């Protein structure tokens, strides 16, 4: 008889696992607690605008795991590559090119002309050639201070990290993680790409693969607890009944895992990850009834550490003639949940709108404001560690998501950890698959 596998989680990681296994001929049943699939990767229609819960941007697309999934599963994804020539750093007193390319590095005023720019270019070469790797147990801030590199070179390296890791505390990123990330990013020819149609179009494509390959999707199925026998998972109880299996994949965050694994063999293994902080940001998106022309599609306020992106310049997401702007403010861990600080950050974003989108208040047709949106379930800083794909305490349980060890950051962790889970299951041979999920 074919082995049966239960996968818990219908976000990007769970969908990726389910789609790969369905495409490989496995029998997959996808059960989702929420009415819709996607987890945090959702597109929300509002007054004719398609708001994405978070930036639907993919970093290093040409080497990303979503690119592997696209080829293997024959996904229909419309890619629109970010144009660095239309990106600027706002230095307060003037605008300057974003140093995302060699041309941008040559023109930018973030660094002075001459020797300092040459030094930064050398740092890029050293990173790509693996001559810089960081040091275990040392943050990138501390590593840079020890290195004695030019102060402006240090500042720019941390500024780049702030943008790519969505953090206001880039100096706390482990130095080894920092260099592994930029070894990939500095090699890419597709630094940032957007998904035409937003997260919703990708979620729909993964669901299509599942269904077209003979598997089914059931929504509003709430998981209640995990059943163990002799150190192995044997089933999960849900609002739709009991589902048993031989192999189990869990693509839900640590806090939910703690609830469903309470009193089981894996409870002790999961508990350390409950203490880790998520990476939260403040999101303020606006839909305008009439497009306000601007020469730039991306502006980063270097001092305030907030950015705005003209999403509608890259993907259709508005009523005819409209415009959708997404703005994000990076937060320090101690600032999360502070309503007074949130108001200050919101004002900083509105000042950025006022400066670069003259008359936006008169054209405002819809907006979405969130004081604490999770960019990543476990923030990569200091000694916080991502969960492993498997624990030794239970051989038939696997884990995937942006809180699990993998390649890259943000959504790339979901794709890469999910891909590794799929590899491990596929190596065990054919099995029947059941996928369950949670509400966001």
Residue pair 185/35 in contact (Cβ under 8 Å)? The answer is no
Radius of gyration of the chain (CA): 22
Domain shared by 256 and 313, yes or no: no
The mean pLDDT value for 203-221 works out to: 90
3-state secondary structure of 260: helix
Domain shared by 265 and 285, yes or no: no
Q: Which residue's structure tokens are 């004719």?
A: 48
Domain shared by 166 and 121, yes or no: yes
Q: What is d(CA 438, CA 221) in angstroms, rounded to the nearest whole number?
A: 8
- Residue-range definition of the domain harbouring residue 161: 84-192
What does the pLDDT read at residue 55?
Answer: 64
Sequential DSSP letters for 124-168: HHHHHTTS----TT-BHHHHHHHHT--HHHHHHHHHHHHHHHT-S
Boundary residue ending a domain (145, 169, 192): 192
Judge whether 75 lies within some domain: no
Judge whether 242 lies within some domain: yes
Judge whether 369 lies within some domain: yes
Judge whether 126 lies within some domain: yes
Residue pair 61/195 in contact (Cβ under 8 Å)? The answer is no
Domain shared by 183 and 99, yes or no: yes
pLDDT higher at 212 or 43:
212
Domain shared by 397 and 267, yes or no: yes
Q: What is d(CA 233, CA 264) in angstroms, rounded to the nearest whole number?
A: 9
Q: What is d(CA 328, CA 284) in angstroms, rounded to the nearest whole number?
A: 6
Sequential DSSP letters for 395-422: TTEEE-STTBS-SSSTHHHHHHHHHHHH
What does the pLDDT read at residue 440?
Answer: 35
Judge whether 97 lies within some domain: yes
Domain shared by 292 and 363, yes or no: yes
Query: Of the spans 90-104, 231-245, 409-423, which averages the highest pLDDT?
Result: 409-423
Boundary residue ending a domain (376, 404, 421): 376
CATH of the domain at 302: 3.30.70
Query: pLDDT tens for residues 128-172?
Result: 999 999 999 999 999 999 999 999 999 999 998 998 899 999 999
Judge whether 382 lies within some domain: no
Instruction: Assess whether pLDDT exceeds 70 at residue 188.
Output: yes
- Predicted TM-score (pTM) of this structure: 0.92
Domain shared by 394 and 268, yes or no: yes
CATH of the domain at 262: 3.50.50.60
What does the pLDDT read at residue 436?
Answer: 62
Judge whether 297 lies within some domain: yes
Judge whether 381 lies within some domain: no
pLDDT band of residue 105 (cuts 50, 70, 90) is confident
The mean pLDDT value for 80-96 works out to: 91
Q: What is d(CA 186, CA 400) in angstroms, rounded to the nearest whole number?
A: 26
Domain shared by 103 and 170, yes or no: yes
Domain shared by 330 and 412, yes or no: no
Domain count, the chain: 3
Domain shared by 34 and 165, yes or no: no
Query: pLDDT tens for residues 237-295?
Result: 988 888 888 889 999 999 999 999 999 989 999 999 999 999 999 999 999 999 999 99
Domain shared by 370 and 285, yes or no: yes
What does the pLDDT read at residue 26?
Answer: 86
């Amino acid at each position: 008889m074919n082995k049966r596998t239960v996968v818990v989680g219908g976000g990007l990681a769970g969908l990726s696992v389910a789609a790969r296994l369905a495409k490989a001929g496995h029998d997959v049943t996808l059960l989702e607690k929420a009415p819709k699939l996607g987890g945090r990767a959702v597109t929300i229609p509002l007054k004719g605008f398609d708001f994405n819960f978070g930036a639907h941007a993919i970093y290093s697309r040409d080497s990303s795991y979503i690119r592997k999934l696209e080829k293997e599963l024959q996904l229909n994804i419309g890619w629109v590559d970010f144009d660095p020539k239309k990106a600027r750093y706002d230095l307060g007193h003037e605008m300057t090119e974003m140093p995302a390319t060699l041309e941008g590095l040559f023109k930018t005023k973030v660094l002075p002309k001459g020797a300092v720019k040459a030094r930064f270019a050398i740092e890029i070469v050293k990173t790509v050639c693996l001559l810089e790797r960081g040091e275990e147990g040392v943050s990138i801030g501390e590593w840079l201070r020890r290195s004695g590199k030019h102060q402006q070179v240090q500042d720019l390296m941390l500024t780049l990290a702030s943008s790519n890791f969505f953090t206001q505390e880039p100096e706390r990123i482990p130095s080894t993680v920092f260099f592994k990330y930029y070894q990939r990013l500095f090699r890419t020819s597709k630094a940032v790409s957007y998904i035409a149609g937003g997260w919703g179009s990708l979620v729909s494509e993964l669901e299509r693969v599942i269904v077209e390959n003979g598997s089914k999707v059931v929504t509003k199925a709430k998981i209640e607890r995990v059943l163990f026998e002799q150190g192995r998972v044997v089933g999960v109880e849900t609002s739709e009944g009991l589902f048993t299996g031989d192999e189990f994949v869990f693509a839900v965050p640590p806090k939910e895992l703690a609830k469903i694994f309470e009193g089981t063999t894996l409870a002790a293994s999961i508990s350390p990850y409950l203490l880790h902080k998520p990476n939260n940001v403040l999101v303020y998106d606006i839909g305008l009834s009439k497009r306000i022309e601007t020469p730039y599609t991306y502006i980063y306020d270097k001092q305030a550490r907030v950015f705005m992106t003209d999403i509608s310049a890259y993907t259709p997401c508005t009523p005819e003639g409209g415009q959708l702007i997404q703005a994000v403010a990076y937060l320090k861990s101690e600032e999360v949940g502070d309503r007074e600080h949130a108001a200050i950050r919101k004002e900083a974003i509105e000042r950025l709108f006022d400066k670069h989108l003259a008359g936006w208040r008169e054209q405002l047709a819809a907006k979405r404001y969130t004081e604490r949106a999770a960019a990543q379930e476990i923030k990569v800083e200091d000694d916080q560690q991502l969960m492993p794909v498997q624990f030794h305490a239970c051989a038939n349980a696997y884990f995937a998501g942006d809180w699990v060890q993998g390649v890259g950051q943000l959504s790339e962790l979901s794709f890469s950890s999910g891909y590794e889970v799929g590899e491990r299951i596929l190596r065990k041979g054919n099995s029947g698959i059941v996928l369950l999920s949670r509400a966001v």
